[in-house]
């Protein structure tokens, strides 16, 4: 992907940049989620997992991306990696005062 978090970085300290930068970031994340879903629909688990990881690089507290990553890894047979990613997800949620969805519920959800 071509987008990087340094959008308009030459004007990094200008107040007017905040809105457009956040809008670009939100749009980019939206596109990554759509690409992940398209990949899952086409049985492209590897591509979907890459997209979820890209989202987490941008926002390590994105619960939807954590849950998609854990669910996809578990369903594709990468159980150990799914458990490790679940632990990371749970830790991130604790950092912001939230409880992670239990692992068993992630396995059962669509």
CATH number at residue 102: 1.25.40.10
Q: Does the residue 2 lie in any domain?
A: no
What gap in Å lies between CA 18 and CA 22, rounded to an integer?
6
Q: Does the residue 53 lie in any domain?
A: yes
Q: Does the residue 42 lie in any domain?
A: yes
- 7 pLDDT higher than 60: no
Q: Does the residue 68 lie in any domain?
A: yes
Tell me how many domains the chain contains.
Answer: 1
- 10 pLDDT higher than 70: no
What gap in Å lies between CA 30 and CA 28, rounded to an integer?
5
Query: 55-58 contacts: CB < 8 A, separation 24 or more?
Result: 55/29, 58/5, 58/25, 58/28, 58/29
53-80 confidence digits (pLDDT tens): 999 999 999 999 999 999 999 988 999 9
Q: Does the residue 4 lie in any domain?
A: no
Q: pTM of this prediction?
A: 0.75
Q: Does the residue 46 lie in any domain?
A: yes
* Closest by Cα among 63, 59, 60, 64 to 33: 64
Q: Does the residue 100 lie in any domain?
A: yes
Residue 102's domain comprises 9-108
36-60 confidence digits (pLDDT tens): 988 877 778 889 999 999 999 999 9
């Amino acid at each position: 992907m071509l987008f990087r978090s340094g959008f308009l970085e030459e004007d990094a300290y200008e107040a007017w940049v905040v809105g457009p930068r956040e809008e670009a970031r939100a749009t980019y994340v939206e596109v990554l989620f759509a690409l992940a879903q398209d990949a899952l629909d086409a049985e492209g688990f590897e591509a979907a997992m890459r997209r979820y990881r890209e989202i987490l690089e941008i926002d390590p507290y994105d619960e939807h991306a954590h849950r998609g990553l854990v669910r996809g890894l578990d369903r594709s047979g990468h159980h150990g990696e799914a458990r490790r990613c679940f632990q990371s997800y749970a830790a991130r949620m604790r950092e912001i005062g939230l409880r992670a969805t239990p692992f068993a519920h992630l396995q059962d959800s669509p």
